[in-house]
Amino acid sequence: MTLPPPYYPFPLHNDHTIRADMYPLGMVLNGRQESNHFEVDQQYVDYIEQKLHILKQHEDQHHCIDLSEQRQLTHALENIWKQFQQEHPTIANGDYLPARLSAEIKHWLKRQQNPTIRLANHIALHMQEDLVLMHQGYAEWIHVCFPSNWRPVEKFGLDFSQIHQPIPEGNQLLKASDNVVKAMTYKKAYVRFGWILSNNSYRNQHPDTVKPSLTYKHSQDLLNQLWLRMERQTTYPMPDLNRSLFTIRIYQQPLLDALNTPEKQVRFTGIIRTLSPALAVYKGLDTIYAPLLEGLESLR
């Protein structure tokens, strides 16, 4: 079986405004129909190997689970696995994992005594997405090996509005929190996208991860060192359990590779141009904002 090459999402708007931006799953966005909750591609084995390595080293920083309603939680996890099986039956059977890696995962899972925790890790170690399960709007289970400059343990147990509280200029999103949670839990599946810029290709951008410093001589040199990190996020409703799954899939490209058409160059330049000072700080771009914008405008 040959897996497809990864596709690379791109921001949908020509400006930067904090908005929910939740589109029904199945829509065509940026010329591509977004049909699945879970994406599988040629980087599959590399993702799974890296997840296992991170969990072996720092599971306590990347995996949090509330077992107070273990029976319903287990049911929710089983629903997630059934959805993955429906979308990718061959992958779910383990046929694509090398025998060595499959045996390593099974050996690691055996050490976990609680069957619900074992099931949670089994699920996460068979898909490229990071996973967050919300129960009545609260983060009941977080399995995030590739966070984008945030600590999963700090979000555990928080509600939707608390999770997004640090975002500057997010008042409209916070006001809509109850409606967003209801839509995620009781209505339909959604897809949305987020982005950050980084000076490295690390999938794990946990704040405690040691990252290289950024040095550059001019704006073009800066652009050559930056990576566009996109998050494809989906929601999966489980109304009978008062729960919803939130998936996060990381895609990374050198920025200049991502800006491979005039349309994309104009769109991303507009995004950076409309980035407020507070949001520039939040995204870690305040110290490079001027040369970044200068470099983007020189591409046009």
Per the domain annotation, does 284 fall within a domain?
no
Query: What pLDDT score was predicted for residue 18?
Result: 67
Per the domain annotation, does 86 fall within a domain?
yes
Per residue, the 3-state secondary structure of the chain, as one string, reads: CCCCCCCCCCCCCCCCCCCCCCEECCCEECCEECCCCCCCCCCHHHHHHHHHHHHHHHHHHHEEECCCCHHHHHHHHHHHHHHHHHHCHHHHCCCCCCHHHHHHHHHHHHCCCCHHHHHHHHHHCCCCCEEEEEECCEEEEEECCCCECCCHHHHCCCEHHHHCCCCCCCHHHHHCHHHHHHHHHHHCCEEEEEEEEECCCCCCECCCCCCCCCCCCCHHHHHHHCEEEEEEEEEEEEHHHCEEEEEEEEEEEEHHHHCCCHHHHHHHHHHHHCCCHHHHHHCCCCCCHHHHHHHHHHCC
75: domain range? Answer: 23-194+231-253
Per the domain annotation, does 16 fall within a domain?
no
**pLDDT tens, 95-136?**
899 999 999 999 999 999 999 999 999 999 999 999 999 999
Of the candidates 1, 189, 5, 6, the one whose C-alpha atom is nearest the C-alpha of residue 89 is 1
Structure token pair of residue 144: 């995030």
- Whether the pLDDT of residue 161 is over 90: the answer is no
Per the domain annotation, does 201 fall within a domain?
no
Per the domain annotation, does 44 fall within a domain?
yes
Per the domain annotation, does 259 fall within a domain?
no
Cα–Cα distance, 88 to 93 (Å, whole number): 9
Instruction: Find the DSSP H helices in 176-233.
Output: 177-182, 219-225
**pLDDT tens, 75-98?**
999 999 999 999 999 999 988 999
| Entry pTM | 0.95
Per the domain annotation, does 263 fall within a domain?
no
**pLDDT tens, 175-225?**
778 898 999 999 999 999 999 999 999 999 999 998 999 999 999 999 999
Per the domain annotation, does 47 fall within a domain?
yes
- Whether the pLDDT of residue 167 is over 90: the answer is no
Total domains, the chain: 1
At residue 165 the predicted structure's pLDDT band, cuts being 50, 70 and 90, is: confident
More confident residue, 162 or 56: 56
